[in-house]
Structure 1
């Protein structure tokens, strides 16, 4: 992220229109920005006609340079609602280096009252921190993937390296500030990435006829046509991708199955849209586990139209680690760039949009305080405050001193910290059940899956009591039990025992208004009781309730709320112990499972040179995936990890960067072992 100018620097003119100070250029036409968008991008990509011919369940993807005020997105969304058939899906991808602050976005969109109902939805979903990377915003039948960063790098970050999968964009809106004002955006690398993401027959439209744009598009393989521009602009460009050329393999494709499911099959006729695979509702996907990993995965797939069977060995969803009475929604932010910090931040941002959308009654957005308990945490939060300062991030996190923390919490607190106004706590088991309540989901409780077998018909699942089930794909989401199948036995999961204590709320403890985290956590009162804890016992697998861990939780609480700890200590506490599963690098695993022997054989040369480029792909059993290793932040991590998993299955662009998709991949540890010449 550009730390000096992370947001658009807007000058508001006397006529109420926004102008970029950095580029000395307007965001839309002085005559009529909305009409210009309709003329340049909607009409000259022939979107109304193309959308009218879509089939139910078909997906259409638009790529855009320069999100700006979101006007193009909203205009396309409005036309989509008018022209596209029910059940079709629009995926709009836009890259923006200098995003507008929420207040500026609201002011700009107020200029278009005809788009008010859509603008309100965009503003509600707009990220409270516009961090670099991929932000996925979901609306009815429409997905917006907003990439914050330089245009060429942003599009490159969406490329997994599989040519058939990467080529999904059906139409391009080449917008942004004029080449004369912003030549740094219109580079050869940008045009190469646009071509690499273009489906066969993809079209483009742009307001400019500048020479560098014409040359870049022509060299990238597009045909060009000059047509009348809008208003005072005499000419504009439109065209179509004329030829597909496969980009060279630049990184070892260990993460890519040979045949990726869900991608579009290229059409032999370049003047028609690519033909989609069979509709999702004709495919059955089995999800093993009904905790938060399985519930979010099943819901993400069901919303895409798949028929989903969920198998839970317990009596109800959230039977294991997802069954605590109260669950805290928080993440450990980091000022350092890297996979762990990036995923923590983007997972939290996604979760803060996810739960209010899908189960608002079960998400208690009362706020959360993350206290700087101890010197190490004080140092980390001081660095975070410096990092957050220029990012206009108060809607996500605000630094508070002890007095401010106490005033927010409603009780005296001894530490400074970070206040997350949109966060809070959830009802875990109820959330799992609510997510699984969908017409496309069948829940099978008291059903343990013992074995998985692949044959020509797909996957056979052998359950308890000799029950058998068939599915086209399988997703393993059973926490510490995930390595229990032969196909997943090499997943390096670490079991962690955690015990939560539950006390009757007292008069003083009932004053707590929000969730508080430090070395442990304490939740606000709910139905007369409060949860606090939790212990962290690495590699312990017992789930019995232990008095010694009740005392540990009270000792933890005494550092945060001494009076409550004294009062709770005089009670007979109840509680719950369950297992969580973490990975060696503390990032979850989400993606396809390889044939482990094939992976080691194909990439054996990495033992001699871990940086070697090996262009071959190893074997992956078709339709086998896993989502596990969520650790102690399952309710924060699961929604985004499930969206990653669903994107692997459906063939959509990832909701994270290619770097993060690899960092979450279940095969990453096996590849690292090869690079270190380590035997597993």
Structure 2
């Protein structure tokens, strides 16, 4: 999870305004915080005029130091709706070391009644656990990328190392506590990272004229201008970037294509597969203005690995920092915002209990309990003893666990169908793609018994079948057969109110039936139902709900077997696919020294991407992984840190093999 940051320590003054105890400074002007924001940041960056001049479909990006109460964000959002074209998009990137608790944020924003319609949307999407790292919040026409962490480090973490695509920010709000109160934030490293993230001629505005700020901005390449300040402040600064400094690579850039390969909005992208990977990928691209053609070999979406009657939304949380724990947490947080927004009728937020079956799990949950205690995270996860778990579930449970009140279960096929219901998406079922070949336009998709289909880009989302394409043959995807059992709900089992996850899972009754399982058969691809796997599922269920297992054992069980695909490190793959020979030759020296810095980049075929390897947590992983994929395709700021973008990259295993001098 990385180093977690405490919340802002707020003192509420008699006049109802918040003050930071840590910095002994106010969050906004005594005269009028909203009017100050409008004058200092909106007016001095000339946003109204610039936004009126935008073309259809344009994106404008703002960067901010110090999210604070979110007042600047809401004021910019309000102006955006008033002045920008209706099909343009605002991307707001803000960093915050000490985020406000939801209760404090609610109280602060209540001071501005005219912003309440927008404030309510922000509060609804505000993360229930403000963990370090990137939180991506999407609204209509507006995206907020909120990074929890120290300002300079947070901006550095967003840089992929590409001097073209990193330069996204059109205007900067240099806010935060005054340099006299918080000099550590206003560092040379901060100004350098701001410059490296700035688009050509990016503007800035800041309330301060402190010497260290002026020197830092000048050294980073900004031209400065003093203008009258707001209220009792005599002067403030504004200006624009005059010269760009290129950053030398600090690590081997194997994750970056040799040539900038983002696809412009409006181009056509083919997605192969209509399971949860394909459905989330298609939806993320369609919402960005791409024309998406989805090819599904089955008769309808969500009939493969995503086709069970009930799917559980859960993640494997960890108190230890690292890519697996970070991605699991942020993927869960994103998914809990995603499904209520996109398909609320097919997401059942009945809560989920993750039970500790065995000493190892008990120790892990105890560590999680200590980690969660200071984080004010009850809205996301609550450690519970067996008595409380039983009360929540509605029947007796013998284990303690972690309760996720906002999680639950989904209707997989209906979710996939709902996500694909978008005017920019065309679904082709019973359309199996045999192979891919480059074309003058981009790619040809060759169909059995049909004419080739032409597209500017392709995303391979067909789970364990992905390596069947020559371009994806090097992906180390492992097929895993899983069988789910389905029983008629009994009087006892129907009492279950929450989803339960332990060594297996069981969902509350739906339409008189209950799903439980699933088996885990590595490297098996058969999908026939097996009686012995029904027995395995019943044995698993007997550890959780013994009476229900006894009742179900007397029934003639039905069920479903499907094949999932997992990666060796259990993280999904989301990103561009390299030319594998070019990658191996460009980075061959890693066989001799795996820590060598090789500044060259290899060739990536333009418009070729993959989203696969979701394993058994597909419905949790897919939404955020699709957002990462869309970041690679569109060139927009990433929804994860650079470290996580590399950790999810499809080429990571080939690079690791070179470092180990291993041939796959």
Normalising by structure 1, we get a TM-score of 0.97
1:398 aligns with 2:404: no
Please report how far the alpha carbon of residue 467 of structure 1 lies from its aligned counterpart in structure 2 after TM superposition.
2.4
1:333 corresponds to which residue?
317
Distance 2:285 2:465 in 1: 22
SS at match of 1:495: strand
Distance 1:405 1:140 in 2: 38
1:140 aligns with 2:140: yes
1:568 corresponds to which residue?
552
1:269 corresponds to which residue?
none
SS at match of 1:60: strand
Distance 2:247 2:574 in 1: 26
1:97 corresponds to which residue?
97
Equivalent pairs counted in the alignment come to: 664
1:590 corresponds to which residue?
574
Distance 2:56 2:311 in 1: 38
1:475 corresponds to which residue?
459
How large is the Cα RMSD of the aligned pairs? 0.9
Correspondence 1:89-488 to 2 at 5 A: 89-262=89-262, 278=264, 280-281=265-266, 283-488=267-472
SS at match of 1:399: strand
Shift of the 657–59 alpha-carbon distance from structure 1 to 2, 3 Å rule, reads same
Please report how far the alpha carbon of residue 50 of structure 1 lies from its aligned counterpart in structure 2 after TM superposition.
0.2
Correspondence 1:605-624 to 2 at 5 A: 605-624=589-608
Please report how far the alpha carbon of residue 431 of structure 1 lies from its aligned counterpart in structure 2 after TM superposition.
0.2
Distance 1:315 1:674 in 2: 41
SS at match of 1:647: helix
SS at match of 1:217: helix
2:542 corresponds to which residue?
558
Q: Which consecutive residues of structure 2, in runs of 5 or more, have no partner in the other structure?
A: none
- Please say if residues 460 and 466 of structure 2, whose CA atoms lie closer than 8 Å, have aligned partners that are also in contact: yes
Distance 1:466 1:602 in 2: 38
- Please say if residues 3 and 390 of structure 1, whose CA atoms lie closer than 8 Å, have aligned partners that are also in contact: no
Please report how far the alpha carbon of residue 222 of structure 1 lies from its aligned counterpart in structure 2 after TM superposition.
0.1
Distance 1:306 1:388 in 2: 40
- Please say if residues 4 and 131 of structure 2, whose CA atoms lie closer than 8 Å, have aligned partners that are also in contact: no
SS at match of 1:164: coil
Instruction: Map Cα deviations across residues 609-661 of structure 1 (whole Å, 9 max, x no partner).
Output: 11111111101000000000000000000000000000100001110000000
Please report how far the alpha carbon of residue 444 of structure 1 lies from its aligned counterpart in structure 2 after TM superposition.
0.3
Correspondence 1:4-153 to 2 at 5 A: 6-153=6-153
Runs of 4+ in 1 over 6 A off after TM superposition: 1-4
- Please say if residues 57 and 87 of structure 1, whose CA atoms lie closer than 8 Å, have aligned partners that are also in contact: yes
1:661 corresponds to which residue?
645
1:641 aligns with 2:625: yes
- Please say if residues 4 and 390 of structure 1, whose CA atoms lie closer than 8 Å, have aligned partners that are also in contact: no
SS at match of 2:164: helix
Please report how far the alpha carbon of residue 679 of structure 1 lies from its aligned counterpart in structure 2 after TM superposition.
1.1
Distance 2:27 2:230 in 1: 15
Please report how far the alpha carbon of residue 346 of structure 1 lies from its aligned counterpart in structure 2 after TM superposition.
0.3
Distance 2:365 2:69 in 1: 32
Instruction: Map Cα deviations across residues 41-82 of structure 1 (whole Å, 9 max, x no partner).
Output: 000000000000101110000000000000000000000000
Distance 1:455 1:440 in 2: 23
Shift of the 135–5 alpha-carbon distance from structure 1 to 2, 3 Å rule, reads closer
Please report how far the alpha carbon of residue 245 of structure 1 lies from its aligned counterpart in structure 2 after TM superposition.
1.8
Please report how far the alpha carbon of residue 165 of structure 1 lies from its aligned counterpart in structure 2 after TM superposition.
0.1
SS at match of 2:497: coil
- Please say if residues 2 and 326 of structure 2, whose CA atoms lie closer than 8 Å, have aligned partners that are also in contact: no
Distance 2:111 2:70 in 1: 12
- Please say if residues 4 and 132 of structure 2, whose CA atoms lie closer than 8 Å, have aligned partners that are also in contact: no
Instruction: Map Cα deviations across residues 186-226 of structure 1 (whole Å, 9 max, x no partner).
Output: 00000000000000000000000000000000000000000
Distance 2:368 2:193 in 1: 34
Distance 1:247 1:501 in 2: 55
1:490 aligns with 2:474: yes
Please report how far the alpha carbon of residue 260 of structure 1 lies from its aligned counterpart in structure 2 after TM superposition.
2.6
Please report how far the alpha carbon of residue 2 of structure 1 lies from its aligned counterpart in structure 2 after TM superposition.
9.0
Please report how far the alpha carbon of residue 244 of structure 1 lies from its aligned counterpart in structure 2 after TM superposition.
1.3
Instruction: Map Cα deviations across residues 368-399 of structure 1 (whole Å, 9 max, x no partner).
Output: 00011111100000000000001100000001
